Amino acid sequence: MLSLGLFFLLLTGATPSPPDAPSNWVHPQDGPHLDFELRVEQQTLRLSVQLNLACADELVGVLREDLHRLDPVEVEGLRETLLEFVSEHSELRADGVLLEGTPHHFDWTPPDLERLLYYPRFGTRALTTLRLALEFPAAQAVENLSFFWTNYPPNLTVSVEREDAPGLEVRTRVIAYGTHQAFVLSSDSPGLQWTAPPESQRLRMLEVPVPGHDNKSTLGYRPGLLLGLGLGVLGLLIAGRGGQHRRHGLGISLAGFLLALGIGLGQDAASDDVLTSADGKGIFLALHTNLYRSFDSTGEEEIYSALATAVAGPLLEELYVDLQQSLSMQEQGGARAEVEDLRHGSVQIDPDSLSPDSFEVLAKWQVDAAVHHFGHFHRRTTGYEARYTLALGPLGWKIQEYDPLAQERLASSTDDPALALSDEDTRDEIEPDEVERNETAPPDAPPAKTKSNQEGSR
């Protein structure tokens, strides 16, 4: 069976471009390219820098034996030079305090020579990718960030002539508290200011309904039970005095214990009621929404805690490992996917499966996702159909099993016209009239591009 983590990656279409990609499929750019990512994790900030060898040549100009390739013996010298350069030309402040970073990670990817044909100008220098990261300790949870970058080499992708080329624009993303915000830095706007979102907009999980256990139905349960038991004990004490009190005491005791027994049996009967389809749908929508929201988690503890609100059993461990591997791939330059909207369509509860502690769901839904690659990003809308098994455990209702049945790309767009994909052959497998917006899903629409350095937020 397909792992749920891989199933999520497939929803984004986070796959490399095909080997027969056209010559305008720039991934990354055929020229110098640089990206930043700032990630807030508890009391630690991480600055990730991703650039190609062409950009490194523009920034630091480390001599190599062969201009068009990076030899493994030259990597260490380039790493030290780049780390020193990034520290010198960047400034990161958290809540007004200037932070000093320490090296956390460095790696590089040799060029994929099968794609060399599509990079006629910079060739292997455009395809060789370098990644480095710095960590910055913070004294407390960060509420405000400022970041500045001071060096913008010529954008030789836009202009062949160096003197006519504008300065490179640097995409920078801030990922914190389950939110993502994008900026574009340039020589005219070299810094960004970020403020933590209010609590209501941070990563938050929906409360899962508990059918048959609302406050009104249970309000008198505990006091009534205690009253009945109290009367029963009091009656026994009175009966123990003997004489004429014995009959009255036994009567009071019998009435009290019968009251307690009746309340207990009534509560058990209420708890044993079979779920209705409406109950099951409410439970599923909350859990399914929480599952998708958990993909916005960052740190290890946050990831596990978020997933545990939606799934349990072996599926929880499987999905946790998948997400950890996905984050590791992102650090190594892999595609990064962000869920922007979740819309549930048909949600059908199998009536034959309904019981007090489990049921099955056949669901259709659509997901809007932004997929970020080194060099560009694009958005995709994908439709899904799957069967889920939900079960009631010690910690409440959780998703225990799932079986993916279908998925289909419904739409695709990109921030670069040269990368636009044709949607002529897409087929809407989920009928539009049966898809309604999930009112409990994040309401934000995909960000629009602006002329300011803030590109968009989610």
**What is the predicted pLDDT for the residue at 377?**
64
**57 or 261: whose pLDDT is higher?**
57
Inform me whether the pLDDT recorded for 218 exceeds 70: no
| Half-sphere exposure (Cβ direction) of 452: Cα atoms closer than 13 Å | 9
What is the rounded CA–CA span in Å between residue 269 and residue 274?
10
Q: What is the pLDDT of residue 125?
A: 94
- Residue 25: CB atoms within 10 A of its CB come to 15
Q: Retrieve residue 31's tokens.
A: 């020229």
List pLDDT tens digits, range 301-320.
677 888 888 899 888 888 87
Q: Which range among 104-113, 215-224, 231-240, 414-423 shows the weakest confidence by mean pLDDT?
A: 414-423
Please, which pLDDT band fits residue 198 given cuts at 50, 70 and 90?
Answer: confident
0.85 cut: is pTM over it?
no
Q: How far is residue 292's CA from residue 346's CA, in Å, rounded to a whole number?
A: 17
| pLDDT greater at residue 294 or residue 56 | 56
Question: DSSP string covering 12-31, please?
Answer: HT--PPPTT--TT--SS-SS
State phi, psi for 29 to the nearest 5 degrees.
-70, 150
CA–CA separation, 355 and 405 (whole Å): 24
Residues 115-137 have a mean pLDDT of 91
Predicted confidence at residue 164, as pLDDT, reads 86
Q: Given a cut of 90, is residue 58 above it in pLDDT? A: yes
Mean pLDDT of 79-89: 94
409 with 13: CB under 8 angstroms? yes
Please write the tens of the pLDDT for every residue from 357-370.
Answer: 999 999 999 988 87
Identify the top-confidence range among 48-62, 260-274, 372-386, 402-416.
48-62
Q: What is the mean pLDDT of the chain?
A: 75
Over residues 95-117, the mean pLDDT reads 91
The CA distance from 189 to 454, in Å, is: 10
CA dist list (Å): 145 to 52, 138, 171: 26, 11, 16
User: Pick from 366, 357, 353, 340: which is nearest to 445 by CA?
Assistant: 340
- What proportion of the chain, given as a percentage, has pLDDT over 90? 36
| pLDDT-derived band at 440, boundaries 50, 70, 90 | very low
Condensed to tens digits (0 to 9), the pLDDT of residues 25-40 reads: 334 578 999 999 998 8
